[in-house]
Amino acid sequence: MAQSVSVSVEAPIENQILSIDYDGTEVYATPLTQSEYLTRNAARINFSKTIDSTEENKEEEQTIQPTSNPFENILNKLKEAYTEVTVLHDVLSIAKEKHYLVLDPVPIHEPIEVKPMAVVYARKKALGMAGNILISGAERLKRLDNGPDFQIELLRLRQNWRLKKVSDNIIGDLSFRTAGSKFMHPGNFEVSKADESEMKGPNPSTLSVTIPSDLQGVAYIKVVTQKDQEDLCSANVSTIDQKCKLQVGEISSWQKKFEFAQNVLFCKELFNQLAREAVQLQATIPHVVIGNQIRATLLPGIQLIISLCHSNSYQEFQEENKKKVDDLHDHVLEHSLHQLLREIHYKNVHFPIPHSGHAVGIAKKRLLAGPHSYDRHELWEITKSQNQTLLEQIIAQAQHVFMRKRTQYVLDTLARDVKDPQITSHWNALNSPTLSWVKINITTHGYDTITRTSLVIHVKERSLKAICRDGRVMHMSYEPQELRDLILQQICQHQISGLQSLSRCMAWQLLSNSNHLGIGDVEPLGNANSILISSPLGDRVIAVQVRCDPQIVVKVYVSHSPKEFFTSGPLVQGKHWENLGSEFKEVNFEKMEGRNFLNKMEFLMAALTKIKE
């Protein structure tokens, strides 16, 4: 039996093509795994045949074995080939004669009967189908050209937000970690391709964004200072502009969605930090943290309430906004709250150089303290400023805001109530969040050059410091009454010193002057001021008393000399005794002519001056 030559056949490296789509993409069959390949091969084997052939092989091996000639095998095969070729030659030569053998041609099938109309219909149908495919493909391409593209939109998203690919999903990060936040919330969101159904509305987007449920909605932190139950001032803190009104379509866009979610995260972090500090701080009146609210006492009776507001839909938020009275809103407070959190974030990321191992987390000032040889006082100042927490700073600022308002109120009401003299206050436009100062000028209209009393008041967190013209420094507490008393006292002094200067101009003589008159009714706070002046000839004496409690009261007395009705009696005999001053008689000062105190006094002095003949 003829032995076949074994030819090795290898599987092609390329995968088999299963099908080709209309747009030319080739769909490949996945290559077979090792076990699949084995089973496929095993299925092809005809085991019964194999057994036969092995037997034959064995027989052959037995027959071949005795022949020692190595070319025996080849010789046999050549012989067989020769025999077959001769047989073929014989057959062909016989068939050529066509006597004994005839070769039949291979039969060809009869052509199918063609109906021309059917062909036309079939072609029409096929062309129609092909046309439909082309049209739908063209429409898809058109839509891609005009409408939003997933890739391009993803690129735009990538420019503004941090994204990363986790297996098949795109995960983004909303947290402030890159800005130095240490808040534990992951703040992740997921981006996926939008379905056709989602791509409707005014601003269709191919991106669909999934944000964790606790970050959805709108949040803000509300800071209110309250006296009893009455709101004094409030500030809302969030990273979004609360005044702007958004269209429905804008809210649904991913950019806005992220901004809102990040805002929620921001508010949560801020509140978390504040609540932690409120619990840790050891205040004289402990801070209270209940649920989403922190309560701290600023000054007796005045509370600072910080609360986290989180509403789930934007509409609710806008409605609330409409209700709010804008007058109470304090933008400065809001700004400083933002600034404080930013500072903390900055400190978390930016360590002062040098970054030696032991120095991480130590302030730059403290690091320099050694080489710059700071003394004890400076070091103490450093530790004091360093250890202030966010809440402490907020409380200090709120206290200051409140002190400033109180001072303003006291000064304004005094300026309104006291017509004579005028009180003007100049507030410094630039100030620090915890210190501001005001300059107060007390002047009399028409006599500005003669006299002016000015003083400066430093408004601190819980106290006031007044520096008077004469260099006296007075420290006052947060009670507004103290400031009121000081200003009233200053007004009294202003009147008296003004009269003094005026009398000098009018050539009247100053006899005595006292800022603390010991006589008269006892006053709860301060004393009356008084002055005694005499005319150039000494024949008239005017006594003035200015009281400041509870409001400014001016009393003017006049005495004549010689006495108007002098009668010498047994007790006072000489005529010369008439030169003694007569009793003081009160002038009805209210009814005197003149615009203000100094003006009236000028008229009075002018009227009482007698020109020497």
Of 245 and 377, nearer to other proteins (C-beta) is 377
Single out the residue of 544, 549, 561, 528 nearest to residue 600, CA to CA: 544
Q: Smallest distance from the beta carbon of 478 to other proteins, in angstroms? A: 29
Stretch that binds other proteins, among 30-38, 226-234, 273-281, 364-372 (CB under 8 A): 364-372
Q: Smallest distance from the beta carbon of 363 to other proteins, in angstroms? A: 12
Strands (E), 407-494: 422-427, 436-443, 452-459, 464-467, 473-476
Q: Smallest distance from the beta carbon of 377 to other proteins, in angstroms? A: 8
Of 58 and 355, nearer to other proteins (C-beta) is 355
Of 372 and 591, nearer to other proteins (C-beta) is 372
Of 36 and 378, nearer to other proteins (C-beta) is 378
Single out the residue of 590, 594, 612 nearest to residue 602, CA to CA: 594
Q: Smallest distance from the beta carbon of 475 to other proteins, in angstroms? A: 19
Answer whether 265's CB lies under 8 Å from 177's CB.
no
User: d(Cα 216, Cα 232) in Å, to the nearest integer?
Assistant: 31
User: d(Cα 563, Cα 576) in Å, to the nearest integer?
Assistant: 10
Answer whether 479's CB lies under 8 Å from 507's CB.
no
Of 366 and 484, nearer to other proteins (C-beta) is 366
DSSP 501: H
Residues 6 or more apart in contact with residue 475 via CB below 8 angstroms = 463, 464, 465, 466
Please tell me whether residue 476 adopts helix, strand or coil conformation.
strand
Q: Smallest distance from the beta carbon of 471 to other proteins, in angstroms? A: 17
Of 365 and 555, nearer to other proteins (C-beta) is 365
Q: Smallest distance from the beta carbon of 393 to other proteins, in angstroms? A: 25
Stretch that binds other proteins, among 361-369, 385-393, 484-492, 520-528 (CB under 8 A): 361-369
Q: Smallest distance from the beta carbon of 354 to other proteins, in angstroms? A: 11
Q: Smallest distance from the beta carbon of 370 to other proteins, in angstroms? A: 3
Footprint (CB under 8 A) of other proteins, residues 365-424 = 366-367, 369-376, 378-379
Q: Smallest distance from the beta carbon of 387 to other proteins, in angstroms? A: 16
Of 66 and 354, nearer to other proteins (C-beta) is 354
Of 309 and 369, nearer to other proteins (C-beta) is 369
Distances (CA, A) of 35 to 10, 17, 39, 47: 17, 21, 6, 20
Rounded to the nearest 5 degrees, what angle is found at the Cα of 560, between the Cα atoms of 555 and 561?
Answer: 145
End-to-end Cα distance, the chain? 176
User: d(Cα 7, Cα 128) in Å, to the nearest integer?
Assistant: 49
Q: Smallest distance from the beta carbon of 372 to other proteins, in angstroms? A: 7
Provide the greatest CA pair distance for the chain. 204
Of 356 and 567, nearer to other proteins (C-beta) is 356
Question: How far is residue 57 CA from its own chain's centroid?
Answer: 90
Q: Binding-site residue total for other proteins (CB under 8 A)?
A: 13
Of 291 and 471, nearer to other proteins (C-beta) is 471
How crowded is residue 287: how many other Cβ atoms within 10 Å of its Cβ?
21
Q: Smallest distance from the beta carbon of 408 to other proteins, in angstroms? A: 35
Footprint (CB under 8 A) of other proteins, residues 173-232 = none
Query: Using CA of residue 469, residue 470, residue 475, residue 480, what is the dihedral sign?
Result: negative
Residues 6 or more apart in contact with residue 162 via CB below 8 angstroms = 172, 173, 178
Of 371 and 524, nearer to other proteins (C-beta) is 371
Strands (E), 7-158: 17-20, 26-28
User: d(Cα 424, Cα 336) in Å, to the nearest integer?
Assistant: 29
Tokens of 511: 């006899």
Single out the residue of 576, 176, 103 nearest to residue 345, CA to CA: 176
Tokens of 322: 């409409």
Tokens of 93: 């030569």
Of 98 and 372, nearer to other proteins (C-beta) is 372
Q: Smallest distance from the beta carbon of 392 to other proteins, in angstroms? A: 24
Footprint (CB under 8 A) of other proteins, residues 340-359 = 358
Of 302 and 367, nearer to other proteins (C-beta) is 367
Of 109 and 376, nearer to other proteins (C-beta) is 376
Q: Smallest distance from the beta carbon of 366 to other proteins, in angstroms? A: 8
Answer whether 234's CB lies under 8 Å from 407's CB.
no
Distances (CA, A) of 118 to 57, 122, 128, 529: 60, 6, 15, 128
- Considering the rule CB under 8 A, would residue 427 count as an interface residue with other proteins? no
Q: Smallest distance from the beta carbon of 379 to other proteins, in angstroms? A: 6
**Bridge partners of 560?**
540
Tokens of 212: 């964790």
CA dihedral of 429, 433, 439, 440, whole degrees rounded to 10: 110
Q: Smallest distance from the beta carbon of 371 to other proteins, in angstroms? A: 5
DSSP string, 143-208: HHHHS--HHHHHHHHHHHSEEEEETTEEEEE-SSGGGT-------EEEEEEPPTTTS-SSS--SEE
User: d(Cα 553, Cα 389) in Å, to the nearest integer?
Assistant: 49
Of 251 and 359, nearer to other proteins (C-beta) is 359
Q: For binding to other proteins (CB under 8 A), which residues are involved?
A: 358, 366-367, 369-376, 378-379
